[in-house]
Amino acid sequence: MKQRGVLRSISCLATLLAALMFSSAGGFAQTDDFQDRFRDVASELRCPTCVGLSVLESDAPFSKQIKDEVTAQLKAGKSHDEILNFFTERYGPWILRVPPKTGINALAWAVPLGVLLAGPLLVWFFVWRRRETWSGVEAVKPLNEILSELEKELAAARAARQGGNP
């Protein structure tokens, strides 16, 4: 009888130990998932006191407060977009490291792209197209015309010099 009690205790202990191991392994997976989600959100938020750093990269006191709020909201079960919307409503769109591609912020994306696409066309239109009209300008002459004019002037100067000296 004592053996059955000991065996039952060992069996219960083994079951408890196995359940504890499996639950802790699941806990590590949840912790890794939580850390990944935290890093994703915190890397998209700008540090209000640092220049060029995300909240994730900064150790400034204000960034630590934002990190604490992100942690609290993740524990409350909020999604990535809900957390970003919370901070955008509170601090404005400048808190996001990447501006949203909607509304007036769409210009931040469209203008550089437009300049890259339209720039070569504008250069062609204003420079290369006008180059044809510039070739007829008096100040720009071919080299052979300039040389022939210089030879004529030189010949005229020689003739005047010879005609002036007997």
51 dihedral zone (left: phi>0; alpha: psi -120 to 50; beta) = beta
Predicted TM-score (pTM) of the model is 0.48
Question: What is the span of the domain harbouring residue 59?
Answer: 2-98
Give the pLDDT band (50/70/90) at residue 1: low
pLDDT at 24: 45
In whole numbers, what is the pLDDT of the chain averaged over residues?
Answer: 79
* pLDDT, tens digit (0-9, with 9 covering 90-100), for 49-84: 888 889 999 889 989 999 999 999 999 999 999 999
Confidence of residue 148 (pLDDT cuts 50, 70, 90): very high
Confidence of residue 9 (pLDDT cuts 50, 70, 90): low
Averaged pLDDT for residues 24-46: 77
Last residue of a domain, one of 67, 98, 129: 98
As a whole number, mean pLDDT of residues 14-21 equals: 55
Domain finish residue from 73, 98, 123: 98
Flag whether pLDDT at 30 surpasses 80: no
CA pair distance 43, 93, nearest whole angstrom? 15
The tally of domains found in the chain comes to: 2
Residue 44 has pLDDT above 60, yes or no: yes
How sure is the predictor about 26, in pLDDT bands with cuts at 50, 70 and 90? very low
Is the domain of 51 the same as that of 83? yes
117 and 36 in a common domain:
no
